[in-house]
Amino acid sequence: MISKERVDFTGLDFHRGEEILIDKPFGWSSFKVVYEIRHAIGWLKIGHAGTLDPYATGLLILCTGKKTKSISDFQNLEKTYSGTITLGKATPSMDLETEALCEKPFSHISEEQIYLLKEEFTGNIMQVPPMYSAIKQNGKNLYKLARAGKTVERQPREINVSSFNITKVELPDIHFEIICSKGTYLRVIANDFGEKLGCGGVLSSLKRSKIGDYSVDDALSVEVFKERLKKSILN
């Protein structure tokens, strides 16, 4: 495992397979992170264990070479996220990537309502994937259809939210920490949460802090990874 603790990169074998913990920066797609690391290691086979949206930050686990066979093992682990739901608006992407469709008053919402409602989003729940997602339907990515102004019917999927904690309420912002299963869209939770309160809601910030027992605190930035790799090659 290549993490923050590993300073010396000599002896790494990316073809045989390495696992890399990366802290994805804001504004980067997961694909861009994979591209940068793949370029650094010499265009060898590489993949990641769970997409993060460009507006999200946090832990990505990358696997190279023969270790790409382990990607599904990481994908099946529970994920821990912290983030913010902002009430009073709704957007097509359910986050801040797109402009607001509407804005509604939220000042009448009480903390008691918020804490009671979160219980409806805990446990096994059904969730409809968003149009702005990489899911394919009839061979086409949903987000491409969404950007063309099209909407198609999506089937709900069962997900599990094992823990949903409200860490602070500062209306219109609700700060939270969630532990959930593979395939959970936090944007949908934000949107549905706002809909049930009658005022709309968007996911205004998101950070993935853990995948199973692997923590973003142990992850490297892309730049630090490349610097340590370059240093090991020069030595």
Q: Indicate which residues carry an active-site annotation.
A: 53
Indicate the residue type of 204.
Answer: S
CA dihedral of 113, 194, 55, 19, whole degrees rounded to 10: 60
Burial of 8: CB neighbours in 10 Å, binned 0-12, 13-18, 19+: exposed
Question: Which runs of E-coded beta strand occur in 39-195?
Answer: 46-48, 56-64, 79-87, 89-90, 102-103, 123-127, 136-137, 140-141, 157-170, 173-180
Q: Which alpha helices (H) appear in 130-216, and where do they start and end?
A: 142-147, 186-197
Report the relative pairing of strands 157-170 and 79-87 from DSSP bridges: unpaired
The answer to whether 132 and 143 are in contact (CB under 8 A) is yes
Indicate the residue type of 102.
Answer: C
The answer to whether 161 and 178 are in contact (CB under 8 A) is yes
